[in-house]
Structure 1
């Protein structure tokens, strides 16, 4: 079955175009209710199940309403054009500010009441040989050595689907494993910081 029959896909905007829609800040603007959190590398890395120390967020305060400034959908799948990996998005940051897709990412939403579970798609996209083979063919070289995913080719990918109950089971187990990985990485990092702090204290004694 082709993904084209199962999903909808859209790409993010380049920063230079986003800048024309408003003002970009590196701090939340308390008096502004319509700001958007730019979906960039740190956000994707965190949602892909890795511990992130410094998020370095940026926020857009739009100066006018624009249909192109569409926030990501809660629970949709975000694909990195550079790494060809995917993640399920929470849709909002910790301050409940919606994410705005930027140019290095694409958003995939499954068709309502369709036969595909987005959690299973995320697992399939990241972990299966079938997806990896097709992703390799969809990569295009830009410049001398840089590869970027041609996201439109994703729609031509062939996928074999288990029944919906099995898809949901696999997707949930996979998402749980990503959460555990991030927590373990955080624990390791905090343990390292504690050890370094103790060594520094001993050096001062």
Structure 2
């Protein structure tokens, strides 16, 4: 009797995986939210961590568009994504990086800021990027670079993705002292803390079963 009940429960267990249209919607909305956060940072001459931070630093130093730099700087990390995280994750991440690159070029055509407080930009921009990344993580996608390494370490070694990214981001932000004013770097660090705390507090192994 118990065995039959158990088998029935197992066969009727709901499928928690995401459907294709759910993944598509998450990729579109998640990358759009991230791109809005990136725009706040770009307008306020702030930087964030990971490959996005490196792309923003290069943009501030050279004037080359963020989208082109961001797409190019992530290319070497797709091999790690494929070898360690699988084909589906790699494809989703490639699409997500492409969408952020595209949206970052389109955002200035859609939104214009006549006044933008840098403290608000640091906090709101960091929060937007953290929320957008969280959406992507829960649908088995990332934004390349350190995101791929962070997710790999969390899934295989139990190291929190948010805390690992925070440590790496602080190193990247330290390099910003070479190109940006002191107050801009401090605000960028504030934004990085906000971003990574959102991920660390909300993206934990086993918490979101549908992500698998």
Q: Same fold (TM over 0.5)?
A: no
Structure with greater strand percent: 1
Structure with greater contact order relative to length (CA < 8 Å, sep ≥ 6): 2
Structure with greater helix percent: 2
TM-score (norm 2): 0.24
User: Greater CA radius of gyration, 1 or 2?
Assistant: 1
